Chains A and B, each alone.
Chain A
């Protein structure tokens, strides 16, 4: 799954964004009056979330690698190479 996501990152990203755009469009079609609260919350989460992702990215990465190494061992498996 990781390999699939990494290999097809752009198509997957566009697919997710397309789904989100459709959801937002549907939401506004039904509840047009909630545009401002919707936008405020989305922008707030966007801004804060960006910093949070950046700050915790190394910890998240290492945690995932540690889990993968403990479960599958090193080399030849699902772990990208870095230490050969």
Chain B
């Protein structure tokens, strides 16, 4: 190795070092994404990973968890579901209207609270007229006559349902549902978030 390195001037090492570093960065990202994907469970378009924050995860999953959800809690503290697609597998887009329907008794089981946050596809909140990017158990959601709850995800306020409206940004979007101190059904993988349904 030393013989190889001494055959070329140090200045000529800059390019291979930069090339190697860039490839290392990209490879690390690929490995992190693969590790997270392998440990994720996706139902109705919603993905959840319950293994983050646990000892013995290995550096790939540990890094992957830090990448997708920095400072993520362990599952016993909080469960996180994310989706960028509706129930039919189509990419969520602010140009379309959606409803997230929670039948009676199927809100995210928790012993603290739950919330649904909307962001752009990169995970950043987008300003809107109502300055609202999240709805949840503390938002005063109005139930339907049968006790179920609909959350309207669209750009314009749904007439008569403003309190259940989550303003959507333009373009692609991401939804994140959290349940703090999630119930046993979440931890056991028995609870599934209902699909996001496009409204025509």
Contact = CB atoms under 8 A, between A and B. Distances in A.
B70 A37 contact: no
Given A58-B63, A76-B127, A81-B125, A49 B16 contact: no
B38 to A, nearest CB: 15
Interface string A36-74: 111111111111111111110110011001000000000
B134 to A, nearest CB: 5
Dominant secondary structure at the B interface = helix
Contacts, number: 134
B40 interface: no
B28 A65 contact: no
A31 B66 CA distance: 42
Interface residues on A, range: 35 or more
Nearest to A19: B22
B110 interface: no
A46 B32 contact: no
Contacts of B59: 51, 54-55
B22 to A, nearest CB: 6
A24 B20 CA distance: 12
A48 B119 CA distance: 35
A41 B13 contact: yes
Contacts of A78: 124
A39 B12 CA distance: 12
8 contacts: A23-B15, A31-B12, A42-B16, A46-B24, A49-B21, A49-B28, A54-B28, A84-B133
Q: Which 3 A-B pairs have the closest CB atoms?
A: A45-B20, A49-B24, A53-B28
Given A3-B120, A41-B20, 20 more contacts: A3-B122, A7-B120, A37-B5, A38-B15, A38-B16, A41-B17, A45-B19, A45-B21, A46-B19, A50-B31, A51-B59, A52-B24, A54-B59, A57-B28, A62-B66, A78-B124, A80-B119, A81-B125, A82-B71, A84-B117
